Structure 1
Amino acid sequence: MQRTDWDHLTAPVRAAIEHRTSTVRAARTAEAGKNSAIAILLSTTDGPIFVKGLRTDDPRVASQEREAAVSTYVSPLSPELLWQTEVDGWNLLGFQGAPGRHADYAPGSPDLPKVVDTMQRLALLWCPDLPQLKRAERRWAAYVEPADLSLLRGDTLLHTDYSPDNVLIDGDAARLVDWAWPTLGAGFIDPSCLIVRLVFAGHTPEQAEACVSPAPAWTSAPTRAVDVFASALARMWAQIAAADPNPWKNGMAKAALAWEAHRRARLRMTESSES
């Protein structure tokens, strides 16, 4: 998505932001991320503020409503949402600026245990069934047989979009940002979503599964439930790539297919050994 820089915002928008942030000393448009038309890190007299925004007539503005709704419940692991406003055709969110760099998902990266630790901590947070939240069994219904949808059901709060751009590493801590797709569902879903990202980053499916193995939600998950969801992710990413075949979407589709193939091969080996 094309970004709008601070200097190209209208005077009413800049004034509304400064009313909530204090005087802006400097502004830098973020390079990472793909879904916000405004993504600006502001240096203000009261400290750093990150502002993201979408036009109010953009269908994706619902993702910002989800992010705002869940912000109170994820504050232990994510930058604090300070304000939300609509002005001059923009829906804007203002977050406390957070230090750190984007996570490195390469094999052997020291960031990986930090990401999995934050994922485990997220699984312990409580969040009510807010109307803005997705439910896993409904969100992935198009990719799962109706009889298997109950395998995705649960009350664990899930991030589901573990792009390295959505994880900030600061020392020993990993913070989650961009809560566009918060979902309530089975706890193994977040580790599964991360696995596909890790395969995309160069891990084998076996290595990726080993990375998430410290997560109790992963180790306790029924094998069939994981197999079903692996197939759902493969179908979902294939559809996404077919609709918009850019390199990273094609890469994610291949990664999801590789993980699904790994799960299917393991199932065949198990069935063969039992016969």
Structure 2
Amino acid sequence: MAVERLHWDDLPNTTRAAVEKHTGTIWSADTVSEGLNSAIAAVLDTATGPVFAKGLRCDYPRRWTQDMEALINPHVTHLSPRLLWRVDDGDWDLLGFEAVDGRHADYRPGSPDLDQLVETMTTLGQIRCPELPVKAAEHRWRTYVTDPADLDWFAGDRLLHTDYNPVNVLMSGGRALLIDWAWPTRGAGWIDPACLILRLMAAGHTATEADQVAARIPAWTQAPAEGVAALARANVHLWQEIEDANPTPWVQTMNRAARDWLTYRT
């Protein structure tokens, strides 16, 4: 479920003052409408330059996603905006990132953004997952397989993003930057292209067209057919569970894409 979006001025004075210790005076704050998982998401105009701030209340059940973003950022600064500071005052947990002048990616068929995203994902696919406490892919999908042996296909040593919602890809300066690293995962490198495929299908690609885009990412060429089928089955169960809890149009579209992809692969 989406988190209620608040404005910068809704934060306690003490929290905003704690941020200004890092930024200097904050002249203005423009709330960002996109995204589902942050109570605060705003571009701050500060004495030290623009900053993108995002955050959650410290007692929010999924505040751990802030920990994941802070944990992984030093390892992906060549692919993502750099984390500049973190403020945790016991009430609010806020992350401050380099503000990027860009727009969200267009995943529709024929979009030139896909060329740059393929380049970024190719680079990411070359990164071994650091020795950090992130979830393993076989753990992430364990409740969605009917045969536990299927999980063996998902194991690997690559760093995965896994959430390729187009709002998590910023087009800036001729590059595709990955944001919102709430779900970093250690696993087989072909899993990220598989996650992208469902998003491409949701944006209007056929299964064949989405497969052709993914085929330009080296990690996808190494994907075992049995493993891809196992993940496709797991994703059908995952998106059905999400739709059961939250039957919004975009979730229903993702569920249909997952089912169509499973049909295509099997």
Indicate conservation of the 8 Å contact 2:44/2:53, yes or no: yes
- Aligned residue for 1:195? 197
TM-score when scaled to structure 2? 0.96
State the AA in 1 paired with 2:95.
L
- Aligned residue for 1:137? 138
- Aligned residue for 1:254? 256
Residue from 2, 20, 23 that aligns with 1:21: 23
SS in 2 for 1:85: strand
State the AA in 2 paired with 1:183.
T
Give the fraction of aligned pairs with identical amino acids, expressed as a percent: 51
Alignment partners' CA distance in 1, 2:246 and 2:131: 32
The CA deviation at 1:116 is 1.4
The CA deviation at 1:88 is 5.0
- Aligned residue for 2:111? 109
SS in 2 for 1:95: strand
The CA deviation at 1:152 is 0.2
Indicate conservation of the 8 Å contact 1:12/1:88, yes or no: no
- Aligned residue for 1:152? 154
Alignment partners' CA distance in 1, 2:62 and 2:87: 16
- Aligned residue for 2:184? 182
State the AA in 2 paired with 1:77.
L
Alignment partners' CA distance in 1, 2:65 and 2:167: 17
Specify whether residues 148 and 88 from structure 1 end up closer, same or farther in structure 2 by C-alpha distance, changes over 3 A only: closer
Superposition map of 1:222-241 within 5 A: 222-241=224-243
1:67-103 superposed Cα distances (whole Å, 9 cap, x missing partner): 1111110111001011112125111111111121000
TM-score when scaled to structure 1? 0.93
Runs of 4+ more than 6 Å apart: none
Alignment partners' CA distance in 1, 2:81 and 2:224: 33
SS in 1 for 2:51: strand
Q: Which runs of 5+ in 1 are unaligned?
A: 265-275
Superposition map of 1:1-275 within 5 A: 1-131=3-133, 133-144=134-145, 145-264=147-266
Alignment partners' CA distance in 2, 1:21 and 1:260: 48
Indicate conservation of the 8 Å contact 1:41/1:48, yes or no: yes
Alignment partners' CA distance in 2, 1:212 and 1:64: 29
State the AA in 2 paired with 1:47.
G
SS in 2 for 1:239: helix
SS in 2 for 1:59: coil
- How well do the aligned residues superpose, as a CA RMSD in angstroms? 1.0
Indicate conservation of the 8 Å contact 2:58/2:90, yes or no: no
Specify whether residues 220 and 126 from structure 1 end up closer, same or farther in structure 2 by C-alpha distance, changes over 3 A only: closer
SS in 2 for 1:43: strand
Indicate conservation of the 8 Å contact 2:25/2:46, yes or no: yes
SS in 1 for 2:107: coil
Alignment partners' CA distance in 1, 2:247 and 2:6: 25
The CA deviation at 1:135 is 0.4
Indicate conservation of the 8 Å contact 2:170/2:178, yes or no: yes
